[in-house]
Amino acid sequence: MRFLFNFLLLFILFILGAELYLNNLSSFRGPPQIDTSSLYHDLGISKPGWYNPSKWTGVHQKIVNNFDYIKNKIIESLLIDTKIFVIFNPVSKFTLTQEYTNYSLSTNDWLPLLMNVHLENGMTINLQNKSYQEYFKKIKSWEYYFLPTEADYDKEIKEFYKSNFISVNQNSIATNKLNKPLALEIYTFYSKTKGGEAHIQNSRLVILPASNGEIEEDVSAIINMTKFSDQTEIPVWANNIKIPNETKLSEEIEVIENKLKEKKDYYDGLLNHKKLIYDNSYSLQAVCELTLKELGANIKPSIVTDEFIVAYKGINALVEVKGKNKSIDKEDIGQLITDIGQHVAQTGEPIKGFFIGNGCRYLPPQDREKEKTLTFPKEIVHIAETQNIALLSSLELFNAYCMYLEGKLSKDTFLSKIFNSSGVIHF
């Protein structure tokens, strides 16, 4: 079987100056194909999460067995001059209890470090290490960020070397706007004597997110990037030596970069509103809430749902957001009607209903709102009109937001129409 070599190649993309790996890869020909999405493919899954397979197969066990081999090779490499590039996917876990035996597999068990991530979508990327700028030109958005490390996250490395003078440190390669790491550069910290000066190895374990394109393009980008990685790293003391005009130019560049960052943040914020026409779930809910707020609505938490309330001139409306591959149906609007009833029962106060739907979300705008692709079919419109519920497609919300940006729609006009209408709203 091909597992022994392929699972090593699955994670170790490009190694510089490490005979330790090259000896093991001597039978391999062609560019290495590594990324953890390939592992997802072999396990028959498409996204991170918890899985309970119906049986424990030979594929599962082979992966478990080879993970230990890969893990040890990575640990050994951290004290030699090498770089390992990993295109990273968040963890998925497989558990099965069968015949009084527990089987388990985590897709990150190959990594000798405890790496926790938070699943969230975003677009803002602040590059901290310009060495990786060519790769990050490909990254248009991200789906997760790394959480703070646990106290013993490098436990396996310390146990392997049986030394109190080895620790593992990390630098953020890129962060989101809240300074949460999107990519990491991990290196060893080593001191031969208890009171001696610590030495940072040139070895690196570089963890990068996959881009939105083909994985082959990411692999090619990393290989091109590593062609120049054998240059000597700048020592800390060299940064303290100044040449004429360096400080002045540095300050001017900083001013320009800050202005550019403001522009980029605004630009990324604008692009985020495109989610209104294709997204679903909590991500769609978040961008609807943001758009309504920018259009002048007062946002309040709901006491009966995990969504929210919008308020305007003393009137409250309970919001339901739904993104679907097909039209909005009775069950969807029925949920809002139920929530309205619960709100009245708990507060004793009436409240308007406001349904935002992204129906047929995979179709381009020009193919929607036709006989078979209506966001709100006639029977849904009838129910909404009898229940004082305003219906707004998220595509129409997107159009209204664009009109607002162009100065063609005021906040008061938008909100007045929302709060004084039942049935489908058009702008």
- Examine residue 77 and state whether it is found in any structural domain, yes or no: yes
Sign of CA dihedral 120, 125, 126, 132: positive
- Examine residue 250 and state whether it is found in any structural domain, yes or no: no
- Examine residue 245 and state whether it is found in any structural domain, yes or no: no
In this predicted structure, what is the pLDDT of residue 200? Answer: 56
Banded pLDDT at 217 (limits 50, 70, 90) = confident
In this predicted structure, what is the pLDDT of residue 46? Answer: 75
Task: Find the DSSP H helices in 204-350.
Answer: 215-226, 246-272, 281-294, 330-347
pLDDT digits (tens, 9 = 90+) for 222-239: 777 766 545 566 777 888
To the nearest 10°, the Cα dihedral for 275, 276, 282, 283?
20
In this predicted structure, what is the pLDDT of residue 283? Answer: 87
The span from the CA of 321 to the CA of 288, in Å, is 8
| 32-36, 53-57, 97-101, 177-181: segment of lowest average pLDDT | 32-36
Q: Checking phi first, is residue 364 left (phi over 0); if not, alpha (psi -120 to 50) or beta?
A: beta
To the nearest 10°, the Cα dihedral for 118, 120, 121, 122?
-70
In this predicted structure, what is the pLDDT of residue 15? Answer: 36
In this predicted structure, what is the pLDDT of residue 84? Answer: 82
The single-letter DSSP state of residue 181 is: E
Last residue of a domain, one of 240, 260, 287: 240
Pick from 387, 400, 374, 394: nearest CA to 318:
387
What are the φ/ψ torsions at residue 87 (nearest 5 degrees)? -90, 115
Indicate if 319 and 203 belong to the same structural domain.
no
Q: Of 144 and 130, which is predicted with more confidence?
A: 144
Indicate if 311 and 236 belong to the same structural domain.
no
Q: Tell me whether strands 352-358 and 315-323 are parallel, antiparallel or unpaired.
A: parallel
Indicate if 188 and 278 belong to the same structural domain.
no
- Examine residue 267 and state whether it is found in any structural domain, yes or no: no
How many domains does the chain divide into?
Answer: 2
pLDDT digits (tens, 9 = 90+) for 49-79: 888 888 888 888 888 887 877 788 777 777 6
CA angle 279, 282, 283 (to 5 degrees): 45
In this predicted structure, what is the pLDDT of residue 3? Answer: 34
Indicate if 142 and 280 belong to the same structural domain.
no
Once rounded to an integer, what is the mean pLDDT over residues 174-190? 86
| 27-31, 94-98, 142-146: segment of lowest average pLDDT | 27-31
Indicate if 285 and 201 belong to the same structural domain.
no
In this predicted structure, what is the pLDDT of residue 66? Answer: 79
- Examine residue 79 and state whether it is found in any structural domain, yes or no: yes
Indicate if 205 and 296 belong to the same structural domain.
no
In this predicted structure, what is the pLDDT of residue 368? Answer: 94
Alpha carbon 215 to chain centroid distance?
Answer: 16
In this predicted structure, what is the pLDDT of residue 38? Answer: 64
Once rounded to an integer, what is the mean pLDDT over residues 392-416? 96
Helix 411-419 and helix 394-405: axis angle, to 10°? 150
Alpha carbon 331 to chain centroid distance?
Answer: 30
Q: Of 384 and 31, which is predicted with more confidence?
A: 384
Q: In Å, what is the CA distance from 52 to each residue of 39, 97, 106?
A: 17, 9, 12
Last residue of a domain, one of 224, 240, 256: 240
Residue 252 has pLDDT above 90, yes or no: yes
Indicate if 99 and 228 belong to the same structural domain.
yes
Provide the residue range defining the domain that includes 227.
Answer: 3-240
In this predicted structure, what is the pLDDT of residue 226? Answer: 67
Residue 156 has pLDDT above 60, yes or no: yes
Q: For all residues of the chain together, what is the average pLDDT? A: 81
Residue 282 sits in a domain whose CATH number is 3.40.1350.10
Once rounded to an integer, what is the mean pLDDT over residues 279-299? 93
Indicate if 352 and 279 belong to the same structural domain.
yes
Once rounded to an integer, what is the mean pLDDT over residues 266-286? 91
Indicate if 46 and 192 belong to the same structural domain.
yes
- Examine residue 372 and state whether it is found in any structural domain, yes or no: yes
- Examine residue 39 and state whether it is found in any structural domain, yes or no: yes
The span from the CA of 90 to the CA of 144, in Å, is 8
CA angle 152, 155, 157 (to 5 degrees): 140
Indicate if 236 and 278 belong to the same structural domain.
no
The span from the CA of 376 to the CA of 330, in Å, is 10
| 75-84, 149-158, 222-231, 375-384: segment of lowest average pLDDT | 222-231
Q: Of 171 and 337, which is predicted with more confidence?
A: 337
Task: Find the DSSP H helices in 78-154.
Answer: 133-136
Indicate if 213 and 357 belong to the same structural domain.
no
- Examine residue 149 and state whether it is found in any structural domain, yes or no: yes
Indicate if 229 and 302 belong to the same structural domain.
no
In this predicted structure, what is the pLDDT of residue 201? Answer: 62
Q: Which amino acid is at 11?
A: F
